[in-house]
């Protein structure tokens, strides 16, 4: 049986010019409905709605990976940072070759939130929906998994556990 900590997944931009590789399982699979995610996606995607990462209610599905478990394996020169404002600790990273929103980097954190729609093949299902108070007006959020109006304790706990695991992991993994 293969070791799940070694599992590799690939995420690609719409044109295939940028490729990200992740190893291991994600910390969490979530859909975020916050107003910043919605503003950033609209700003990045502009007229390229066919490339949108937003669902009908305004959520962005994300797979969260430790920073030591993601690398750009192709097209790094196409990656550009996008911030909603200069002081923000959060940046979205965009593939400039086709204007694809790839991932979110909370720069003070130890994880990347990679757009789930950029992954090929089977991806883990969404486990929770967060920041649902910002959903699009009149939109219905699916009830297939728990939804939270803010950041639930389980979300924060998973991030903290991943940080501890990262501190004690073998760097050669």
pLDDT above 60 (res 128): yes
Confidence band, pLDDT 50/70/90 cuts, at residue 41: confident
pTM value is 0.90
Confidence band, pLDDT 50/70/90 cuts, at residue 170: low
Cα separation, 65 vs 25, whole angstroms: 8
The pLDDT, as a whole number, for residue 4 is 55
Cα separation, 128 vs 132, whole angstroms: 10
In this structure, how many other beta carbons lie within 10 angstroms of the beta carbon of residue 108? 7
| pLDDT tens for each residue of 86-126 | 888 899 999 999 989 999 999 889 999 999 999 988 899 99
| 28-32 and 60-66 beta bridge pairing | antiparallel
The rounded mean pLDDT for the chain is 90
Q: In this structure, what token pair is assigned to residue 141?
A: 């959020």
What is the average per-residue pLDDT within 141-149? 95
Task: Please give the share of the chain, as a percent, with pLDDT higher than 70.
Answer: 91
Q: Where are the domains of the chain?
A: 4-168
The pLDDT, as a whole number, for residue 172 is 41
Cα separation, 116 vs 123, whole angstroms: 7
Q: Tell me the DSSP string of 115-158.
A: EGGGB-S--PPP-EEE-GGGSPTTPPPP-SS-B-SS--HHHHHH
CATH 3.90.1590.10 fits 4-168, yes or no: yes
The pLDDT, as a whole number, for residue 5 is 58
């Amino acid at each position: 049986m293969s070791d799940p900590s070694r599992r590799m997944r690939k995420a690609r931009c719409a044109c295939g010019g940028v490729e990200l590789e992740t190893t291991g399982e994600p910390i969490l699979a979530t859909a975020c409905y916050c107003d910043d995610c919605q503003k950033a996606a609209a700003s990045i995607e502009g007229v390229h709605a066919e490339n949108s990462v937003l669902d009908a209610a305004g959520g962005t599905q994300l797979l969260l990976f430790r920073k030591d478990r993601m690398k750009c394996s192709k097209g790094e020169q196409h990656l550009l940072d996008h911030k909603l404002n200069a002081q923000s600790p959060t940046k979205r990273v965009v593939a400039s070759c086709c204007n694809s929103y790839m991932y979110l980097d909370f720069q003070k954190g130890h994880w990347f939130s990679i757009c789930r729609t950029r992954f090929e093949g089977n991806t883990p299902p969404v486990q929770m929906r967060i920041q649902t108070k910002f959903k699009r007006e009149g939109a219905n959020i699916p009830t297939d998994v728990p939804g939270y109006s803010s950041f639930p304790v389980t979300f924060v706990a998973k991030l903290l556990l991943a940080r501890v695991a990262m501190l004690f992991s073998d760097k050669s993994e």
